Structures are given as structure tokens and as C-alpha cells.
């Protein structure tokens, strides 16, 4: 499954994302010293001005239904999901329409797990509710946020997230449990620094479309397994390493931007307010975001070669830092756009 914002390496060689500005300038060849923070020019704020307003998106576009729970974690919390054992969850559908509502769940047949809904289709009378039960059997160790589509006849589709965490190691775990090192003034897990070093040493700063082009899925899986076994040293597959940096952030138990109130992200037109919100993050989350922004600014300073301005990088990285808790598709779309703007505005200079 491809990450948000990624393009297959076999399908694209150029960056087709429109650029509103150029970030920094290309220096000569980048230093291979990943511990030194370069100087960057400050970006100006960008404003997507997404509509409707946040007060409206929760009601005007929900298709007349209410979903009690859109992230299905099977009440496992931080515990890994057992293999080949049935785990269950449930949520409630409420019909807010003035007539009977018909629904169905779009079939999903991934080989890594079996997922079933009961009932998988049916109807709910006006003003009534129905409990939906979910069963999951995982066949192999994976970490995934699997999207399920709930279709409503004549209405708006809703999206549910099936959260699966089976792998143990350095992905999908509390970062405080990992080996920590100092890098560019931030205390972060050593696996991030190892990936960054590999990315830079093998020319990732000059790679066109870096962080946008996806690595090969088989190679992502292989290297990820080696990282989880503490056997990773380096890799010259820079698109795979860049993908794994995004995956690492995406699989955090709590995505970084979820620690910031939704209202702060939605009303993020002011750069100073974005920076203030980040400064109020818990120390671990702030270090992780500062470190990531430093890396993205470093990449953006080579944008005349790699075609990845800070705005382009924000577009492909931001979705991995926020998990929309609502099943409302309009809310998901608007908040995704706002997360891009927030990330772009978060740092005007490296910490």
C-alpha cells in the first residue's frame, strides 16, 4: 500500500506539484556530515483558506449519519495485535436523516489479514441506530492503518481506519523506549539518525522527487525488518529510506500533530501562532518535529536540483504526522490541507 503523497518510482521521474516559491538555494554538493545544521532562508506563510469553516464541516457534510468510532483499534491500546487470533471491536451508526438509510461496507481483501463487519450491509430507520461489530484476524506481522469505506445510498461515503500494530522493534512503539542520541540539537531515536545519514551519504539531497517518490514495497519491507532486528547499517536505496522515515512517523502510537488541538491546526494562517503551538508540545514530540523540520529544510535547500521545495515536502510529509479522528470525508480533506499549511509555517529557521 502506497503512503499518502508518494508516487511510484516506475511512474514518475519529475515533480508535477505546482511550486509557489523556491526555498533556499542550491549550494555545491552537500556535506555528508549529517550532524551539522545548514543555514536556510525563511519561507513566507502560505494560506490555502480551505472552506467550509471548521464549525460547519462536522455537520454539513456528514451525509446524515453519525459514526461513534472511526478509528478501530480493537481495544488493544499499545499492546501488539496477536497473530491468527480473532480480535473484535464495534461502533454505532446513527441515522440523522428524515428517512430510512441504506448502507454497505466496501469489500476489502488484503492478504495480510481478514476483516469482517456484521452486518456488512443493511438499513437504519430514521432517528434510529445500529451497532456494527468488527472481527479481525491478522495472518502476518504488519503495522498498518487500513482504510475502510462505508457507503451510504444517496449520501456521503465515510472512512474508517482499522489500526493494526503487530511488529515490535523501532516502528510503531513509544519513542521513549528506544535508544536516544543527540543530532542537530535534538534528542531523537538513533534509528532516525541512521536513516538520515544513509539518505545523505547516498545522494538523497540531490535525488529528484525525494520524499515524493515511493520506494519498492519489497525493499521497504526487507529494510524495515532489518531495522526492527537492530541489523540496519545503511542502504543506497534512498527512496526506500525516505519512505521509511515517513513510515516511522506515521506509525507512532500518537502522531505528532495529534498532540496539537485541532483548532490550532485549522486556524494556522499565522506563522508565529504555529511556532507557539509547536513550542508547547511535550519535549519528546517537539524534538521529533524539530529534527524532521531540520531535515526537510536541508532537503529544500537543494530544491533547484531535487525539485522539492518546502511546500512540496510539506504536501507529502504532513499526512504522515496527523491521523484524522473523524469519519467525515470533508473534515478529513480540510484538515489534511491545513496540516500541510501548518507544517510549512511551523519553522522558518532551524531550531
The structural domains of the chain, with segments of one domain joined by +, span: 7-55+170-346, 64-165
Report the alpha-carbon distance of residue 211 to residue 316 in Å, rounded. Answer: 7
- The C-alpha cell at 248 is 516511522
- The C-alpha cell at 80 is 501488539
- The C-alpha cell at 210 is 525525494
Residue 235 near residue 200, CB atoms below 8 Å: no
How confident is the model at residue 253, as a pLDDT? 86
- CA quadruple 167, 172, 177, 183: dihedral sign: positive
Query: CA neighbours within 13 Å on the CB side: how many for 203?
Result: 8
Per-residue pLDDT of the chain (351 residues; tens, 9 = 90+): 444 345 544 433 333 333 333 333 333 333 334 444 443 333 444 444 444 443 444 444 456 788 998 889 998 877 889 999 999 999 999 999 889 999 999 987 888 899 999 999 999 999 999 999 999 999 988 888 888 989 988 877 888 889 888 877 899 889 999 999 999 999 999 999 999 999 999 999 999 999 999 989 999 999 999 999 889 988 899 999 999 999 999 999 889 998 888 888 887 778 888 888 899 999 999 999 999 999 999 999 999 999 999 989 999 999 899 887 666 666 677 777 888 888 888 765 444
How confident is the model at residue 242, as a pLDDT? 97
User: Count of CB atoms within 10 A of residue 205's CB?
Assistant: 24
- The C-alpha cell at 228 is 526492527
Look at the domain 64-165 and name its fold. Immunoglobulin-like (2.60.40)
How confident is the model at residue 241, as a pLDDT? 96
How confident is the model at residue 327, as a pLDDT? 65
- CA quadruple 136, 141, 145, 149: dihedral sign: negative
How confident is the model at residue 17, as a pLDDT? 36
Which residues on neighbouring strands pair with residue 160, listed in sequence order?
A: 148
Report the alpha-carbon distance of residue 239 to residue 8 in Å, rounded. Answer: 10
CATH homologous superfamily for 7-55+170-346? Rho GTPase activation protein (1.10.555.10)
User: Count of CB atoms within 10 A of residue 24's CB?
Assistant: 21
Report the alpha-carbon distance of residue 259 to residue 253 in Å, rounded. Answer: 11
Q: What are phi and psi of 264, to 5 degrees?
A: -65, -40
3-state SS track over the chain: CCCCCCEECCCCCCCCCCCCCCCCCCCCCCCCCCCCCCCCCCCCCCCCCCCCCHHHHCCCCCCCEEECCCEECCCCCCCCCCECCCEEEEEEEEECCCCCEEEEECCCCCCCEEEEEECCEEEECCCCEEEEEEEEEECCCCEEEEEEEEEECCCCCEEEEEEEECCCCCCCCCHHHCCEEEECCEEEEHHHHHHHHHHHHCCHHHCCCCCCEECCHHHHHHHHHHHHCCCCCCCCCHHHHHHHHHHHHHCCCCCHHHHCCHHHHHCCCCHHHHHHHHHCCCHHHHHHHHHHHHHHHHHHCCHHHHCCCHHHHHHHHHHHHCCCCCCCHHHHHHHHHHHHHHHHHHCCCCC
Q: Is 230 left (phi over 0), alpha (psi -120 to 50) or beta?
A: left
Report the alpha-carbon distance of residue 243 to residue 208 in Å, rounded. Answer: 14
Amino acid at each position: 500500500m502506497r503512503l499518502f503523497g508518494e508516487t511510484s518510482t516506475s511512474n514518475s521521474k519529475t515533480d508535477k506539484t505546482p511550486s509557489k516559491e523556491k526555498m533556499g538555494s542550491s549550494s555545491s554538493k552537500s556535506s555528508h556530515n549529517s550532524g551539522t545544521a545548514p543555514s536556510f532562508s525563511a519561507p513566507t506563510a502560505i494560506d490555502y483558506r480551505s472552506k467550509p469553516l471548521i464549525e460547519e464541516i462536522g455537520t454539513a457534510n456528514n451525509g446524515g449519519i453519525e459514526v461513534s468510532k472511526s478509528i478501530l483499534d480493537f481495544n488493544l491500546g499499545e499492546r501488539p495485535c496477536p497473530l491468527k487470533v480473532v480480535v473484535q471491536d464495534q461502533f454505532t451508526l446513527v441515522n440523522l436523516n428524515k428517512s430510512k438509510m441504506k448502507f454497505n461496507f466496501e469489500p476489502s481483501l488484503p492478504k495480510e489479514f481478514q476483516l469482517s463487519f456484521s452486518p456488512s450491509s443493511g438499513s437504519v430507520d430514521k432517528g434510529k441506530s445500529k451497532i456494527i461489530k468488527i472481527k479481525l484476524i491478522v495472518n502476518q506481522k504488519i503495522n498498518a492503518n487500513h482504510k475502510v469505506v462505508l457507503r451510504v445510498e444517496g449520501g456521503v461515503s465515510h472512512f474508517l481506519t482499522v489500526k493494526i500494530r503487530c511488529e515490535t522493534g523501532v516502528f510503531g512503539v513509544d519513542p521513549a523506549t528506544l535508544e536516544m542520541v543527540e543530532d542537530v540539537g535534538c534528542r531523537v531515536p538513533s534509528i532516525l539518525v541512521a536513516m538520515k545519514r544513509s539518505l545523505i551519504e547516498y545522494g538523497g539531497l540531490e535525488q529528484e522527487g525525494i520524499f515524493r517518490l515511493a520506494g519498492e514495497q519489497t525493499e521497504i519491507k526487507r529494510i524495515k525488518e532489518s531495522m526492527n532486528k537492530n541489523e540496519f547499517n545503511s542502504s543506497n536505496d534512498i527512496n526506500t529510506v525516505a519512505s521509511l522515515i515517513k513510515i516511522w512517523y506515521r506509525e507512532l502510537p500518537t502522531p505528532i500533530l495529534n498532540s496539537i488541538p485541532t483548532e490550532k491546526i485549522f486556524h494556522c494562517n499565522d506563522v508565529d501562532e504555529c511556532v507557539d503551538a509547536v513550542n508547547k508540545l511535550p519535549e519528546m514530540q517537539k524534538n521529533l518535529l524539530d529534527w524532521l523540520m531540520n531535515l526537510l529544510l536541508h532537503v529544500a535547500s537543494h530544491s533547484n536540483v531535487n525539485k522539492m521545495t518546502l511546500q512540496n515536502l510539506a504536501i507529502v510529509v504532513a499526512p504522515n504526522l496527523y491521523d484524522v479522528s473523524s469519519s467525515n470525508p470533508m473534515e478529513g480533506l480540510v484538515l489534511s490541507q491545513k496540516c500541510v499549511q501548518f507544517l510549512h509555517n511551523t519553522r522558518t529557521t532551524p531550531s
